[in-house]
Amino acid sequence: MAISPDSVAVIKGLRRRGYSIPEISTRTGVPRTTVQRYSKSVPIARQYQDRWHARRNASKIMSERAWRTADERARKTVSKISTRDLALIGASLYWAEGAKRDLTFTNTDSRMIELFVFILRNVFKVPLDDLTVSLRIYEDLKKGACLRHWSRVTGVHLTNATTISVLRGKKSGKLEYGMCRIRVKKSGWLLKEIFSIINRVFEQCSPRSSMDRTAHS
């Protein structure tokens, strides 16, 4: 977003006085990303350092309090997860990240991969030997570290014989260990079951389906 020199001056002036990005955005009406771009190299003036640190600490305290409240509410909402719940979670994950023609699930998020493998093993009773793991990594990542990481996450012992696609360039963002792909052998029956669960959920939750049920009641 392009802004006037006067607005830039105001942003930098507020930043020097120890105002936070959200505060400056609220006062000026300029989007936070734009404020951040123009203020990231602006030092906080010495006389405003105390205010700056105090407000940063206050923001941290407020954030921690909000997380505690959110965690308490989550524990009440999800007091216990049943096998049925896990089946719904697994189907939802697959709907978002899975392939359509064979049961292949790919992601960079270690927790998501670990959870999906747990559901495959414990809900759908897929033997560990039926899981095939392959990786996609950037050329600047250490292959051994990636193999060890995804071995721990999946429970599958990965070796140098594991299929690894190496991409040119450097990793970006959260791709610390690359991308992991889980494939289930001879999974036609399970793929149908998962998509049947997805269809059932959609039938129950779709506004269109709700209107159809109301019309026929």
How far is the C-alpha of 176 from the C-alpha of 136, rounded, in Å? Answer: 11
For the segment 16-64, what is each residue's pLDDT rounded down to a tens digit?
Answer: 998 888 889 999 999 999 999 998 889 998 888 887 888 778 878 888 8
Question: What is the amino acid identity at position 40?
Answer: K
How many helices (DSSP H) and strands (DSSP E) are in the chain?
9, 4
Residue whose structure tokens are 């216990």: 80
What the block records as the tokens of 123 is: 């809900």
For the whole model, what pTM was predicted?
0.72
Interval 153-210: pLDDT, tens: 999 999 988 999 988 877 665 578 999 999 999 999 999 999 999 999 999 887 765 5
What backbone torsions phi and psi does residue 137 show, to the nearest 5 degrees? Answer: -135, 160
Tell the residue number behind the tokens 């305290």, with chain if given. Answer: 61
